[in-house]
């Protein structure tokens, strides 16, 4: 420890982060060295991209020392470690975040200026690390930030996809997907660990042999195809601490074990080709959100990642604890982010019984104590089920173990409920027709805790999809950890002006409130301070201008920053109901046109009916999801018509921002007046963009769903526009649709009529969308919630008033800005730091390490 102490104070030769923070010359010197020797360029032809790479390398080199020290300290302290297994980490950009967490933004800005660069332009060169689809992947990214910032010893394990989530282009109002080769210029934030190579086997067969030590027969697996997992590490800096954890992503590489049979048969090309196939395992992220496609390569990805991670975790444990397996649950917690890593349960059991010779019962006891599972959805199409045949072919030994786990589990169930024969069928890991492995059930059985991600959701899983398991295990196994977001990225980084204003009011020049977000509550003191409300509103206005500039550059549409910005950005999904939003926009437009026809002037319309607004959309549709793509097409076509109607002044604009991603979200979230979180009640497990918008002072229009419920509780129901049918009524309404047919309200009928008349292009393009509601049961209850949605919007407009960007408007300040301040003051609960503390206490049983 003394040695570490010395090193972290910079007595070794390498510069550490503190040198760079305190000494701009040092930064400049290192920067130039990276340009000249690392990149092989001269300072005379160093462009922004090269500057980004050199600056990143400079910061990273320093960070790597904190990181190495952290790892050594954690090894010496030998406390319990947390491993967060997630198939997705939607990290976004790293450099800006590192500057903020390491508190060297100002120095870097100044140094870069001295060298002739502008920090923002340099930051803009970085491609997003977009190794995730949406909420689930971004949550994992927020969690690793919090693990570091709160001084936990916690690593992330994932896959290093060559291609992240596709890039979305809008061509002729349609979504087009293009590949995201994000590693084009190599990534300065990745530390390739070529020495960490773990062989992972697939296929093959199982055989029995006599264990020479015990004389008993034991099972063994001989794999038929071997791939190497090679580590690529991302250091994860904490805010205001030198605790720097690791995010380890695996790359698939061919082994050097050349296929000599093929080679000797003269088929050199083939033998090389089959080697190359190895790399395909980590080549691409599956682009579905809340939907499982069931492709063999996906299962291969899952096992590859899980096997490498378990092996790495066990190797680290054995270094200190040898074969003291009973200590494993005191040393290691593994969190399964959704069912994607469920095979970790099976792999850990296999390692213990087949490779380490632990008895089944002892091993299983350890596995269950180590693992915990987070569920993120109740939607059936998102729950993973793998065909038994496929699992048996790819992982023959694992299938046997799954059957054994199931056998012992069903025995237990039978003892508990001998008279309920059907229960066995219902809770079996194996579904009979078609024969498949229910991964969620396996995850529950192999974990000591199962959590949902918002209160409502955690209650729902206990009464619907996992009801029988509550009966078997008791309700204490099921718990809730409401999601959160990291305030470092989603306040400080996304909204420098607002975070500075807050720091000023809290008299916290070092921004310590960012790791103690409850302090926001102190803003309530200023709620009657008119000058403060004006300052607050002025920040929002600047952020809206920044967003308007993004919209201009992305869509070439001019939006007036003084109008209400009404935003819905998230993955496109029927359950999230972007279709309901665009239908409401159409209704508004038709009504405006109707009023115009009656001779009402634009001024009068503004006076009596509608305030001016811009409806802003963004989000990707899964490439194979026809309905979602249709919704995008409709939004774009409606935008085309409305934005080109020069008779309506600035009353209404509709834009679709292409390629919504983390770095765009950082501009979009601070720029909202209002954002939409309008999923059918009971379908959105939590939602996290609701939190991002609210933390940035935007108000919310939303259904009584997911975390909206808790946001309303925290900030006060009078500060959120809630509407719509409740989760408890959804089943009944669906049944009613089925029995009586769907009742489409007059308002929505008008919208459908306009679409079918061809006002927004070829009506055939939208047939499935309209028919799905009117004639095919309206599964997502758009018809039931539509008028309630319109009413809620009326309330929004009354509250917002005719603001016109004029900060002196007392009515606007009193009605709207006050709500904005009050909301932010009460958003402290939604920090992902709070989530991590809850996981640590209730599920992992770990404490922050001593720094
Ligand atoms: O996970 C988020 C939730 C959100 C939920 C989302 C999610 C995915 O992004 C992908 C698959 C899945 O099953 C769930 O839809 O409500 O906020 C993080 O928990």
- Encode 508-547 in three state secondary structure: CCCCHHHHCHHHHHHHHHHCCCHHHHHHHHHHHHHHHHHH
What pLDDT is stored for residue 372 in this prediction?
99
Relative to beta strand 699-703, strand 674-677 is: parallel
**Out of 34, 438, 540, 576, which one is annotated catalytic?**
576
**Out of 60, 398, 570, 664, which one is annotated catalytic?**
570
430 contacts 379 by C-beta, under 8 angstroms: no
As a residue count, the chain comes to 851
What pLDDT is stored for residue 258 in this prediction?
62
**Out of 138, 248, 376, 677, which one is annotated catalytic?**
376
Long-range contacts of 817-821 (CB under 8 A, 24+ apart): 817/533, 817/536, 817/537, 817/540, 818/527, 818/533, 819/699, 819/718, 819/719, 820/536, 820/540, 820/697, 820/698, 820/699, 821/523, 821/526, 821/527, 821/532, 821/533, 821/536, 821/697
Q: How many CB atoms within 10 Å of residue 211?
A: 11
> Is 319 among the residues known to form the active site?
no
Inform me whether the pLDDT recorded for 12 exceeds 60. Answer: no
Q: Could you check whether 78-93+128-482+836-844 and 505-827 share the same CATH topology?
A: yes
Q: Which of 164-173, 208-217, 218-227, 313-322 is the least confident region? A: 208-217
Give residue 136 CA to ligand 1 midpoint distance, Å: 5
Residue with the larger pLDDT of the pair 8 and 741: 741
What band does 14 get if pLDDT is binned at 50, 70 and 90?
A: low
Residue 466 CA from chain centroid, whole number: 24
C-alpha 782/C-alpha 625 separation (Å) is: 19
**pLDDT tens sequence across 778-805:** 999 999 999 999 999 999 999 999 776 6
C-alpha 633/C-alpha 104 separation (Å) is: 44
C-alpha 750/C-alpha 589 separation (Å) is: 11
What pLDDT is stored for residue 24 in this prediction?
87
Cis peptide upstream of residue 434 (ω within 30 degrees of 0): yes
Q: Is 53 helix (H, G, I), strand (E, B) or coil?
A: helix
C-alpha 755/C-alpha 566 separation (Å) is: 22
Structure tokens at 165: 């989530």
Percent above pLDDT 90 for the chain: 92
Give residue 250 CA to ligand 1 midpoint distance, Å: 23
Give residue 496 CA to ligand 1 midpoint distance, Å: 28
Residue with the larger pLDDT of the pair 10 and 657: 657
- Sort 739 into a burial class: Cβ within 10 Å, 0-12 / 13-18 / 19+: exposed
Q: Is 431 helix (H, G, I), strand (E, B) or coil?
A: strand
C-alpha 770/C-alpha 778 separation (Å) is: 9
Relative to beta strand 652-657, strand 613-618 is: parallel
- Nearest in space to 446 (alpha carbons), one of 310, 563, 610, 580: 310
- Cβ contacts of residue 321 below 8 Å, gap of 6+? 327, 328, 331
Q: Summarize the confidence of residues 752-769 as an average pLDDT.
A: 98
Tell me the average pLDDT of the chain. 96
Inform me whether the pLDDT recorded for 219 exceeds 90. Answer: yes
C-alpha 60/C-alpha 31 separation (Å) is: 11
Is the ipTM reported for this complex over the cut 0.90? yes
Closest ligand 1 atom to the C-alpha of 291?
11
717 contacts 799 by C-beta, under 8 angstroms: no
- Cβ contacts of residue 663 below 8 Å, gap of 6+? 92, 93, 128
- Nearest in space to 803 (alpha carbons), one of 562, 452, 521, 537: 562
Nearest CA to ligand 1 atom 17: 687
Tell me the HSE value of 172 on the side-chain side, using a 13 A CA sphere: 2
C-alpha 302/C-alpha 309 separation (Å) is: 11
What pLDDT is stored for residue 6 in this prediction?
56
DSSP collapsed to 3 states, 345-407: HHHHHHHHHHHCCCCHHHHHHHHHHHEEEECCCCCHHHCCEEEHHHHHHHCHHHHHHHHHHHH
> Is 573 among the residues known to form the active site?
no
What pLDDT is stored for residue 11 in this prediction?
45
- Nearest in space to 149 (alpha carbons), one of 84, 192, 95, 100: 100
What pLDDT is stored for residue 392 in this prediction?
98
**pLDDT tens sequence across 561-576:** 999 999 999 999 999 9
The residue extents of the domains of the chain are 1-77+102-127, 78-93+128-482+836-844, 505-827
**pLDDT tens sequence across 811-839:** 999 999 999 999 999 999 999 999 999 99
C-alpha 123/C-alpha 492 separation (Å) is: 15
Structure tokens at 286: 């599956």
C-alpha 836/C-alpha 116 separation (Å) is: 41
Tell me the HSE value of 145 on the side-chain side, using a 13 A CA sphere: 31
C-alpha 634/C-alpha 640 separation (Å) is: 10
For the chain, state the CA radius of gyration. 28
What pLDDT is stored for residue 804 in this prediction?
64
**Out of 688, 703, 737, 793, which one is annotated catalytic?**
688
Residues 632-664 as b/e (b if ≥16 CB within 10 A, e otherwise) read bbbbbbbbeebbeeeebeebbbbbbbbbbbbbb
Inform me whether the pLDDT recorded for 18 exceeds 90. Answer: no
Q: Is 58 helix (H, G, I), strand (E, B) or coil?
A: helix
Ligand 1 pocket: which residues have CB below 6 Å?
133-136, 139, 289-290, 338, 376-377, 382, 453, 483, 684-688, 706
Placement of tokens 């640590």 in the chain: 840
- DSSP letters spanning 658-727: SS--HHHHHHHGGG-SEEEE-PPTTT-S--SHHHHHHHTT-EEEEES-TTHHHHHHHH-GGGSEEES--H
What pLDDT is stored for residue 266 in this prediction?
80
> Is 34 among the residues known to form the active site?
no
> Is 677 among the residues known to form the active site?
no
- DSSP letters spanning 635-661: HHHHHHHHHT-TTSTTSEEEEEESS--
- Nearest in space to 76 (alpha carbons), one of 156, 153, 154, 6: 153
- Sort 323 into a burial class: Cβ within 10 Å, 0-12 / 13-18 / 19+: exposed
> Is 449 among the residues known to form the active site?
no
Q: Is 167 helix (H, G, I), strand (E, B) or coil?
A: strand
Closest ligand 1 atom to the C-alpha of 379?
13
Give residue 634 CA to ligand 1 midpoint distance, Å: 25
Give residue 835 CA to ligand 1 midpoint distance, Å: 15
Relative to beta strand 371-374, strand 449-452 is: parallel
What pLDDT is stored for residue 835 in this prediction?
99
Helix (H) / strand (E) element for 788: namely helix 782-800
- Cβ contacts of residue 395 below 8 Å, gap of 6+? 202, 303, 343
Angle, helix 48-77 to helix 105-114, in steps of 10 degrees? 150
**pLDDT tens sequence across 224-269:** 999 999 999 999 999 999 999 999 999 999 997 766 777 778 888 8
Out of 3.30.1490.70, 3.30.450.20, 3.40.50.2000, 3.30.360.10, the CATH code matching 505-827 is: 3.40.50.2000
> Is 743 among the residues known to form the active site?
no
Give residue 355 CA to ligand 1 midpoint distance, Å: 36
Please choose from 131, 287, 376 the residue to mutate so as to test ligand 1's pocket, defined by most ligand atoms within 8 A of CB.
Answer: 376
**pLDDT tens sequence across 25-69:** 999 999 999 999 999 999 999 999 999 999 999 999 989 999 999
Backbone angles phi, psi at 525, to 5 degrees: -55, -30
Residue 305 CA from chain centroid, whole number: 19
Please choose from 90, 133, 134 the residue to mutate so as to test ligand 1's pocket, defined by most ligand atoms within 8 A of CB.
Answer: 134
The edge-to-edge listing of strands for the beta sheet with 191-202 is 191-202, 225-237, 244-254, 154-159, 81-85, 332-337, 371-374, 449-452, 478-480
C-alpha 481/C-alpha 837 separation (Å) is: 10
Residue with the larger pLDDT of the pair 261 and 469: 469
Helix (H) / strand (E) element for 105: namely helix 105-114
Please choose from 290, 577, 689 the residue to mutate so as to test ligand 1's pocket, defined by most ligand atoms within 8 A of CB.
Answer: 290
What band does 274 get if pLDDT is binned at 50, 70 and 90?
A: confident
C-alpha 81/C-alpha 845 separation (Å) is: 10
- Fold annotation for 78-93+128-482+836-844: Rossmann fold (3.40.50)
């Amino acid at each position: 420890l003394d040695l570490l102490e010395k090193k972290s104070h910079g007595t070794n030769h390498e510069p550490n982060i503190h040198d760079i923070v305190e000494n701009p010359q040092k930064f400049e010197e290192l920067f130039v060295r990276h340009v000249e020797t690392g990149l092989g360029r001269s300072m005379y032809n160093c462009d922004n991209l090269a500057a980004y790479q050199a600056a990143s390398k400079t910061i990273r080199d320093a960070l790597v020392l904190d990181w190495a020290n952290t790892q050594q300290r954690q090894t010496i302290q030998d406390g319990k470690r947390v491993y967060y297994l997630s198939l997705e980490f939607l990290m976004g950009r790293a450099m800006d975040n590192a500057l903020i967490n390491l508190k060297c933004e100002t120095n870097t800005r100044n140094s870069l200026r001295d060298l002739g660069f502008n920090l923002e332009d340099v930051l803009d060169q970085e491609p997003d690390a977009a190794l995730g689809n949406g909420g689930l992947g971004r949550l994992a990214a927020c969690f690793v930030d919090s693990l570091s910032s709160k001084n936990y010893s916690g690593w992330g394990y994932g896959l290093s996809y060559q291609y992240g989530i596709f890039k979305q282009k809008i061509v002729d109002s349609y979504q087009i997907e293009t590949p995201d080769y994000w590693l084009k210029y190599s990534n300065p934030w990745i530390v390739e660990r070529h020495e960490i190579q773990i062989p992972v086997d697939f296929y093959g067969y199982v055989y029995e042999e006599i264990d020479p030590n015990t004389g008993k027969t034991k099972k063994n697996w001989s794999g038929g195809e071997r791939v190497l997992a090679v580590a690529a590490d991302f250091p994860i800096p904490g805010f205001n601490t030198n605790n720097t954890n690791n995010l380890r992503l695996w790359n698939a590489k061919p082994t050097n074990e050349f296929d000599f049979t093929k080679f000797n048969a003269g088929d050199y090309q083939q033998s090389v080709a089959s080697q190359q196939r190895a790399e395909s395992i980590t080549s691409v992220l599956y682009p579905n959100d809340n939907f499982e496609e069931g492709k063999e390569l996906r299962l291969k990805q899952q096992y590859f990642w899980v096997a490498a991670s378990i092996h790495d975790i066990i190797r680290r444990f054995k270094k200190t604890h040898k074969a003291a397996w009973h200590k494993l649950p005191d040393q290691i917690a593994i969190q399964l982010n959704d069912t994607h890593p469920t095979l970790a349960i099976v792999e850990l059991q296999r390692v213990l019984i087949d490779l380490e010779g632990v008895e089944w019962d002892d091993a299983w006891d350890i596995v269950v104590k180590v693992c915990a599972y987070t569920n993120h959805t109740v939607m059936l199409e998102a729950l993973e089920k793998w065909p038994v045949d496929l699992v048996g072919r790819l992982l023959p030994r694992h299938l046997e173990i799954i059957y054994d786990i199931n056998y012992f589990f069903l025995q237990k169930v039978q003892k508990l409920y001998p008279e309920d024969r059907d229960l066995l069928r219902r809770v079996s890991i194996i579904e009979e027709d078609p024969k498949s492995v229910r991964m969620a059930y396996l995850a529950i059985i192999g974990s000591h805790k199962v959590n949902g991600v918002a209160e409502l959701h955690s209650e729902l899983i206990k009464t619907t999809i996992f009801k029988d398991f509550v009966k078997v295990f008791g309700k204490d196994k099921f718990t809730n950890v409401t999601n959160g977001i990291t305030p470092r990225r989603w306040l400080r980084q996304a909204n420098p002006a607002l975070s500075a204003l807050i720091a000023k009011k809290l008299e916290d020049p070092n921004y310590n409130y960012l790791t103690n977000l409850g302090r926001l509550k102190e803003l309530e003191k200023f709620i009657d301070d008119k000058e403060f409300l004006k300052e607050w509103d002025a920040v929002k206005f600047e952020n809206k201008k920044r967003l308007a500039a993004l919209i201009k550059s992305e869509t070439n549409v001019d939006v007036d920053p003084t109008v209400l910005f009404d935003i819905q950005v998230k993955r496109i999904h029927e359950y999230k109901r972007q279709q309901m939003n665009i239908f409401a926009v159409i209704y508004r437009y038709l009504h405006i046109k109707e009023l115009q026809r009656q001779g009402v002037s634009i001024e009068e319309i503004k006076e009596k009916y509608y305030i001016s607004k811009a409806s802003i959309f963004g989000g990707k549709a899964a490439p194979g999801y026809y309905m979602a793509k249709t919704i995008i097409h409709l939004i774009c076509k409606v935008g085309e018509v409305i934005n080109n109607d020069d008779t309506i002044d600035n009353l209404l604009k509709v834009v679709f921002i292409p390629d919504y991603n983390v770095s765009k979200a950082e501009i979009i979230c601070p720029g909202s007046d209002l954002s939409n979180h309008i999923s059918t009640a009971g379908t959105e497990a939590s939602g996290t963009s609701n939190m991002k918008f609210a933390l940035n002072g935007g108000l919310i229009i939303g259904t009584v769903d997911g975390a909206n419920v808790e946001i309303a509780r925290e900030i006060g129901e009078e500060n959120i526009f809630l509407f719509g049918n409740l989760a408890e009524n959804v089943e009944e309404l669906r049944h009613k649709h089925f029995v009586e047919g769907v009742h489409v309200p007059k308002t929505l009928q008008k919208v459908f009529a306009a679409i079918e008349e061809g006002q927004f292009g070829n009506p055939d393009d939208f047939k499935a969308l309209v028919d799905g509601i009117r004639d095919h049961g309206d599964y997502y209850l758009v018809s039931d919630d539509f008028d309630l949605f319109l009413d809620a919007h009326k309330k929004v407009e009354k509250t917002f008033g005719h603001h016109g960007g004029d900060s002196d408007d007392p009515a606007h300040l009193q009605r709207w800005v006050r709500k904005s301040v009050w909301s932010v003051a009460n958003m402290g609960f939604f920090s992902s730091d709070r989530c991590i503390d809850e996981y640590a206490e209730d599920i992992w049983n770990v404490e922050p390490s001593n720094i």
